[in-house]
């Protein structure tokens, strides 16, 4: 594998390390992904909504399983948002011009986030109204 030189269009791929170093590298990549996701306004709004739900749960006196479910749902929303963001970045790279396929790919990613938000909001509403 040749070394990267100034002016190279893309950095070279570094082979994955093994063992504990692999875990350390994966953690660094995940944290970099979280920093990237935090630049998305949708993700910041989802964090804000999660904070609002937590305040509502405190006010309502939610049970421990409600809290566990909320944490899981917030994690799922952010995971799907991260996948959607990655999809949008890749689509923009592969198809910088407008295309129907690119639009549909982005629309499907948006649908995935929207459905997860509906499920999460429904759960929060059920807890806040005392139904569960």
> Catalytic amino acids?
81
Question: Which residue, 115, 112, 103, is CA-closest to 82?
Answer: 112
10 is in an annotated binding site: no
115 is in an annotated binding site: no
110 is in an annotated binding site: yes
| 84, two tokens | 């959607």
120 is in an annotated binding site: no
Chain position carrying tokens 């407008």? 98
Taking the C-alpha atoms of residue 1 and residue 15, their distance in angstroms, rounded to an integer, is 10
40 is in an annotated binding site: yes
Taking the C-alpha atoms of residue 64 and residue 78, their distance in angstroms, rounded to an integer, is 21
Chain position carrying tokens 């129907």? 100
- Cβ atoms of 85 and 37 within 8 Å: the answer is yes
Residues contributing to the annotated binding site for a divalent metal cation: 40, 88
Residues contributing to the annotated binding site: 29, 40, 42-46, 81, 88, 106-107, 110
Residues contributing to the annotated binding site for substrate: 42-46, 81, 110
């Amino acid at each position: 594998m040749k070394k990267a030189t100034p002016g190279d269009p893309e950095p070279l791929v570094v082979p994955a390390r093994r063992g504990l170093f692999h875990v350390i590298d994966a953690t660094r990549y995940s944290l970099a992904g979280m920093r990237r996701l935090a630049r998305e306004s949708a993700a910041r709004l989802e964090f804000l909504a999660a904070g609002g739900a937590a305040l509502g749960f405190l006010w309502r006196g939610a049970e421990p399983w409600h809290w566990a479910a909320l944490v899981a749902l917030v994690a799922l929303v952010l995971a799907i948002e991260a996948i959607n963001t990655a999809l949008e970045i890749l689509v923009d790279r592969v198809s910088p011009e407008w295309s129907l396929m690119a639009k549909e790919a982005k629309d499907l990613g948006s649908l995935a986030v929207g459905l997860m938000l509906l499920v999460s909001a429904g759960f929060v509403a059920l807890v806040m109204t005392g139904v569960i």
